[in-house]
Structure 1
């Protein structure tokens, strides 16, 4: 396995040279293998690089600590210093993987769930030209990035999925993220599902269709 700043699993396509890639960011308390069943449903000519968050948590890993001062888990925000570090580590890992695995640098997607979705949306706003598409499932737009209006995000394909029964990250927070990304010009697909904090079959099918269209 090649050296990246973050531990990871890499699944190469049959023809890896200059192929597109999806970078997968798991949720709080999970690990780099948690979303592999989702990634395996995507087109098989993609490099899959599933990253492990940097900090141990309850048998898994977390991208950052939570700021709960806003009123509990359902109103939480990323701890700013931790979040900045996580964003930097992911961006550095993307760059390192492009060199290590021969990935097409113009065809990089992000797929994140929960904390991974929050991280993915912020990475997009930090460097929209770096990513060809983003899938953000059951997440929200962090306050640190809510006012970002970057050049280069116009018509960027973004899929945001939410659960109407999600009590960890309420659907309203995902909806607000979709609204804000539309305001800055992204081409947002927003869908809700009758689930809690998890990815059901209908959501997975919509994600696969989105990626097949945009990768």
Structure 2
């Protein structure tokens, strides 16, 4: 496997295409690893070239994060420098993956869970030209990215699916509702 800036696992498309494959980049939550969400690959559209990336911050053996966080049900306390570094690193990793695996740059999708959803939203809202759509499960929008949110013109029509469990004890549902409320004020295609 080629060496890129993030450790990752790949699942090539199960269906042959006449053109470059779309990329589905899976981003795990805090304390997990790249082997977590890739288990979903067999159940996803077979046209995708699936990449499951490992977050760069090591918490413990086999446990990684996109940024360190002290969990608090009202407002988690994050390491904003790590969050920004991971956002920038993900943007670069997308470019590396497209070039290395010869993927379609116009069909890049992000799917994240918890902290991976946070990173998906951060990339999509600040660099919408890099993604064709995202799925954010049980995440939130970091207030730190507010000054970097792209223009309404750049965000117009960007497909974003947000889901959040009502019984989530780690990142309570009010964070998902706040993300929904912010996204409803933007010209994205929110589902």
> Normalising by the residue count of structure 1, what TM-score does the alignment of the two structures yield?
0.81
> What is the CA–CA distance in structure 2 between the aligned matches of 1:173 and 1:34, rounded to whole Å?
23
In the TM superposition, what is the alpha-carbon distance from 1:149 to its structure 2 partner?
4.7
Spell out, residue by residue over 1:97-127, the C-alpha distance to the aligned partner (whole angstroms, 9 max, x if none): 0001010000000000000000110100111
> What is the CA–CA distance in structure 1 between the aligned matches of 2:162 and 2:123, rounded to whole Å?
15
- The CA RMSD over aligned residues, in Å, is 1.6
Among candidates 168, 174, 178, match of residue 166 of structure 1: 168
> Normalising by the residue count of structure 2, what TM-score does the alignment of the two structures yield?
0.91
Unaligned stretches of 5+ in structure 2? none
Unaligned stretches of 5+ in structure 1? 190-215
Partner secondary structure for residue 6 of structure 2: coil
- Show the counterpart of 1:64: 67
- Show the counterpart of 2:35: 33
> What is the CA–CA distance in structure 2 between the aligned matches of 1:188 and 1:66, rounded to whole Å?
27
- Determine if the alignment matches structure 1 residue 180 to structure 2 residue 182: yes
Partner secondary structure for residue 105 of structure 2: strand
Asked whether the 8 Å contact 1:77–1:142 carries over to 2, the reply is no
In the TM superposition, what is the alpha-carbon distance from 1:11 to its structure 2 partner?
1.0
- Show the counterpart of 1:12: 12
In the TM superposition, what is the alpha-carbon distance from 1:181 to its structure 2 partner?
1.2
> What is the CA–CA distance in structure 2 between the aligned matches of 1:35 and 1:101, rounded to whole Å?
20
> What is the CA–CA distance in structure 1 between the aligned matches of 2:49 and 2:150, rounded to whole Å?
30
Partner secondary structure for residue 3 of structure 1: coil
In the TM superposition, what is the alpha-carbon distance from 1:183 to its structure 2 partner?
0.7
- Determine if the alignment matches structure 1 residue 123 to structure 2 residue 123: yes
